[in-house]
Structure 1
Amino acid sequence: MIVMIKGNVGYPITLDPTVWIFDDRKIELEKAFVEKEEEAASTSIFHKPPVNRSISKMEGEEYLKNSYVIPLHDFLNNAEPKANAEEIEFIKSNDENEKIALKDAKNGYLLFSSEGKPLFEDGPVHFYYKDGSNQDNPIKYIKEIHVH
């Protein structure tokens, strides 16, 4: 259930989507494509997830029934794509890899939880464009993100 970001980057990184449920950057899937302008203006790209924050029982119950995405840009920025990087390739477990522009990837979301459960069958993550244009047909079976 891990996803690697590697290729034309300064720092290859390993992601564990199973821990993102505790990350404050997560967004409910239903709210991800309904962004308010004031929220966008106040979002910092330097936001760090909390450390050792306990969750309430009510929050825990919500986590177990909702679907969540997390913005991909922080992870890509941490990998530090080289100046000449222009696209990424989603390496998929079904061998039907897909390439998209790096700028589109940085503005997209990774779905990591569907109705409170990890994406065992067609995951570990799915990719959604920020504009929701592939909301009904996300890129699935992603096991690695290769920067070109």
Structure 2
Amino acid sequence: MESIILITGKVNFSITLDPGVWIFDDRRIDLNNYFTTEKNSIDETEEYTKSISKHWDREIMEGAVFPPTLKTEKKFEKEKVLNGSFGVPFKPFLKNASPKQSATALIIERESKEDVTISLEEAYQLILGFSKEGKPLLENGPIHVYYGNGSNKENPITHVKGFRII
């Protein structure tokens, strides 16, 4: 149970996070190239609509054809998961916790280390790293916290045991 992390404090709903299951999360991001690639603000609904429209158009024109490379793509994805370093955005978890109107900051509680306090606006940009080179973060984990701009990419916040909204 030491890998379970809580979001508590001035929130409407306390949230329990289990980094062990994030490898299956579609929101996971590759930390090896996340901070180096250019980010565009994407409207998820618009992006989804475009992809579905493209798929629909292709099926109308060509019929339902499965690509012959599907098997190799799955193998590549499996190898990537087994060897990659991944994280997930903190924003969806923080939104689900629903911070109260009076909340102003987030305290990242650490085990036997000094806690880190950041503004709530910065907290929405955090990335929670949960694996490095295909392995869970057991020694100094269970998660590493990265700032959204990647300024602490080489030296993330480690030994995280919880988040408290104040």
Residue 117 of structure 2 corresponds to which residue in structure 1? 99
Alignment of 1:144 with 2:145, yes or no, is no
Between structures 1 and 2, the one with greater strand share: 1
Q: 1:87 & 1:114 partners in 2: Cα distance?
A: 28
Q: 2:38 & 2:21 partners in 1: Cα distance?
A: 24
Q: Deviations over 1:100-126 (max 9, x none)?
A: 111111111000111111111111111
1:43–1:139 Cα change, 3 Å: farther
Q: Deviations over 1:33-76 (max 9, x none)?
A: 12332xx32346xx9xxxxxxxx443222111000011000000
What is the one-letter code of the residue matched to 2:33? Answer: K
Matches within 5 A, 1:1-148: 1-33=3-35, 34-37=37-40, 40-43=41-44, 56-148=74-166
What is the one-letter code of the residue matched to 1:113? Answer: S
Q: Percent identity?
A: 43
TM-score normalised by the chain length of structure 2: 0.77
Aligned residues: 137
Uncovered stretches (5+) of structure 1, i.e. residues with no partner? 48-55
SS in 2 for 1:122: coil
CA contact (8 A) 1:89 1:98 kept: yes
Uncovered stretches (5+) of structure 2, i.e. residues with no partner? 49-73
Q: Deviations over 1:82-108 (max 9, x none)?
A: 011111111111232111111111111
The CA deviation at 1:134 is 1.0
What is the one-letter code of the residue matched to 2:7? Answer: I
Q: What root-mean-square deviation, in Å, do the aligned CA atoms of Structure 1 and Structure 2 show? A: 1.8
Q: 1:35 & 1:26 partners in 2: Cα distance?
A: 17
Between structures 1 and 2, the one with greater helix share: 2
CA contact (8 A) 1:91 1:142 kept: yes
TM-score normalised by the chain length of structure 1: 0.86
